[in-house]
Structure 1
Amino acid sequence: MRPKIKITLVDRKGDYGCHKGYEIGKTWDFDKDRGEFCSLAMHTLFPMVDILRYGGSLPLSQSGDVRFACPDADVINIFRIEKIDE
């Protein structure tokens, strides 16, 4: 069984609000909520999910968790990605 992946919007570095209206603190279940997740951010996220699901590891941020940034240069949402082992 594949581990669950949880994504949380934890910060924003850009000067503008998210085009999808996401607010800091919003979370998604990768499998259940994939269709509502921003396609720009999904493009960055997808390889990271594969790495986590198939036994790899990703570098930790200065906060001690795994983070990735939205590729929209005006917005720059920062997401945390977590593998949830059941």
Structure 2
Amino acid sequence: MKKPKITLTLVDQKGTRGCHHGHQIGDSFDFDTERGKLCPMAMHVAFPYIDILRYGGTLPAQPDGSILFCCPDVDVINVFRIQVEDG
């Protein structure tokens, strides 16, 4: 079974400060080739979701079908979308 392509995109920011890692809304990262560019705190949250999706699991989605997660930094609260493409 080939793993699907996973893309993480910063879609919103809810906190009062800018991202300490320098991420901006619209930044997008290919999980396989660019995961080292993603803030380690956000990556720590993203990994369990990605692991579930990569091995055939499902996650609760927004009404439009998107899967979202937040950065754990309370001052920043970046909101990322996970996009899955069959590989």
Amino acid at match of 2:80: F
CA distance in 2, matches of 1:74, 1:54: 33
Identity of aligned residues (%): 56
Name 2:70's counterpart in structure 1.
Answer: 69
- Aligned residues between the structures: 86
- Is the helix fraction higher in 1 or 2? 2
Runs of 4+ more than 3 Å apart:
none
CA RMSD, 1 decimal: 1.0
Runs of 5+ in structure 1 lacking a partner? none
CA distance in 2, matches of 1:82, 1:52: 10
TM-score by length of 1: 0.94
Amino acid at match of 2:29: W
Deviations 1:38-84 (A, max 9, x none): 10001100000010011111111255310000000000000000111
The DSSP-based 3-state class of the residue aligned with 1:72 is coil
Amino acid at match of 1:6: T
The DSSP-based 3-state class of the residue aligned with 2:51 is helix
CA distance in 1, matches of 2:18, 2:40: 16
CA distance in 2, matches of 1:39, 1:70: 10
Name 1:6's counterpart in structure 2.
Answer: 7
CA distance in 2, matches of 1:26, 1:48: 19
CA distance in 2, matches of 1:76, 1:11: 8
TM-score by length of 2: 0.93
Name 2:50's counterpart in structure 1.
Answer: 49
Name 1:81's counterpart in structure 2.
Answer: 82
